[in-house]
Amino acid sequence: MISVSEAKELIFENTDIIPPARLSIDNAAGLVLANDLFAVTDIPAYAQSSMDGYALSFAGWQQCKKLKVAGIVAAGSEDHTVLSPEQAVRIFTGAAVPEGADTVVIQEKSRTENGELIIEDNMLEQGANVRPKGSEIKAGDLALPKNSRLSPAAIGFLTGIGITHVEVFPAPSVSIIVTGNELQEPGKPLKHGQVYESNSFTLRAVLQQLQIRDVTVYKAEDTLDTLTSVLSIALEKSDIVLLNGGISVGDYDFVLKATENCGVTKIFHKIKQKPGKPIYFGKKGQKLVFGLPGNPASVLTCFYEYVTVALEKLFKCRSGINIIYAPLAITFKKSAGLTHFLKGFYNGESVTPLDAQESFRLSSFARANCLIVINEEVTESMKGEIVEVHLLPV
């Protein structure tokens, strides 16, 4: 067995970044830019009114005081209106400010009489309520640097400057292989000796949180031939394979032998930890294979602690796991030799290990917002002692 830190180092060292891909921007939310993006035109491409009101020449108004209203300019109008100094036009938000105008007075501070504009704004300044050409961004300017994450605001900004496709680090494709003859599909009656299969639902949910949507779920009977066949198909299809169950040393645990049959190189098998000690990690070419334990709490713990290490490097995702240090609310004791990941709740001041820590129990995980890390050599952590806490994404 290896230590937790050794396992994470091996996963990182054996994971390669997925080559960039060109995607339409409406499929790129949450992904990371692979190169710098530059504006190809001025935005806005013309001087634009930011308010409903009247467009005018400030110098013309200063000279004439009353201006003749010469027409209307609406947003989207393709007319190229040209104003003389003694003229103004009714204008609406987003419309192009006519040539000869440089200022917009808002409608609340103006009125018309006999076709003339009378301005009642003693504080009006030249350029008021006008968005200059290129005020958002100018042609050739850097729009977003590489390694920027495409947040909703970034998507809106880029589409607003006319960008339709981006080079990004694409999310990997993932296959989940569920093993276990005792598993029954949720919604169907349980027969004697059966339990409901939930791990694939858990894994799909956490993958979806990470913007990974190309996920295929396979169910394999507990025979070596079946598992070998399914694993072979999954390796052809996906960048990552998550085997679930069958990685221990029981008579029906065929995962290790199936990986050998499929030419997967074992990087490690078993970590000095609880829960999830029998976790497996291997590689075939650039494909990554994780053999996760079958117990529900072990599956999710191992995903958060190890699979996310690979995902963060593969396509520069954010796992959403934040490491903090906080005082324990109660004393916790254990034997030396294994790092413990305890389902816990952090209230902003201290962290409490929850009940139902057994690896088969997910009820406490459903209430947890963190994992508390108690290192392998520690046998007792006292109330008030500062411990490492991994805050989980919500």
pLDDT tens profile 131-174: 999 999 999 999 999 999 999 999 999 999 999 999 999 999 99
pLDDT of 102 higher than 70: yes
Helix (H) or strand (E) holding 231: helix 224-237
- pLDDT-derived band at 204 (thresholds 50, 70, 90) equals very high
**Under CATH, to which class is 4-18+170-314 assigned?**
alpha beta
Calculate mean pLDDT across residues 57-81.
Answer: 93
pLDDT number for residue 245: 84
pLDDT number for residue 233: 97
Of 2.170.190.11, 3.10.580.10, 3.40.50.920, 3.40.630.10, the CATH number of 48-131 is 2.170.190.11
CA distance 87 to 106: 16
Provide the percentage of residues in the chain whose pLDDT is more than 90: 87
Q: What is the pLDDT of residues 376-385, one digit of tens each?
A: 999 999 999 9
192-222: buried (b, 16+ CB within 10 Å) or exposed (e) per residue?
Answer: eeeeebebbebbbebbeebbbeebebbbbeb
pLDDT of 184 higher than 90: no
**Prior bond of 172 cis (ω within 30°):** no
Calculate mean pLDDT across residues 218-243.
Answer: 95
Q: Going by CATH, does the domain composed of 322-391 fall within 2.40.340.10?
A: yes
pLDDT number for residue 285: 96
- Alpha-carbon separation of residue 293 from 265, 277, 288 (angstroms): 19, 8, 16
Quote the pTM value.
0.87
pLDDT of 277 higher than 70: yes
- pLDDT-derived band at 252 (thresholds 50, 70, 90) equals low
Report domain extents, the chain.
Answer: 4-18+170-314, 21-41+147-169, 48-131, 322-391
Closest CA to 101 of 64, 73, 60: 60
pLDDT number for residue 195: 87
Calculate mean pLDDT across residues 261-283.
Answer: 96
Q: Is the dihedral of CA 290, 181, 364, 328 positive or negative?
A: negative
How many helices (H) and strands (E) the chain has is answered by 9, 29
Calculate mean pLDDT across residues 199-214.
Answer: 95
Helix (H) or strand (E) holding 226: helix 224-237
What tokens were used for 21? 């891909």
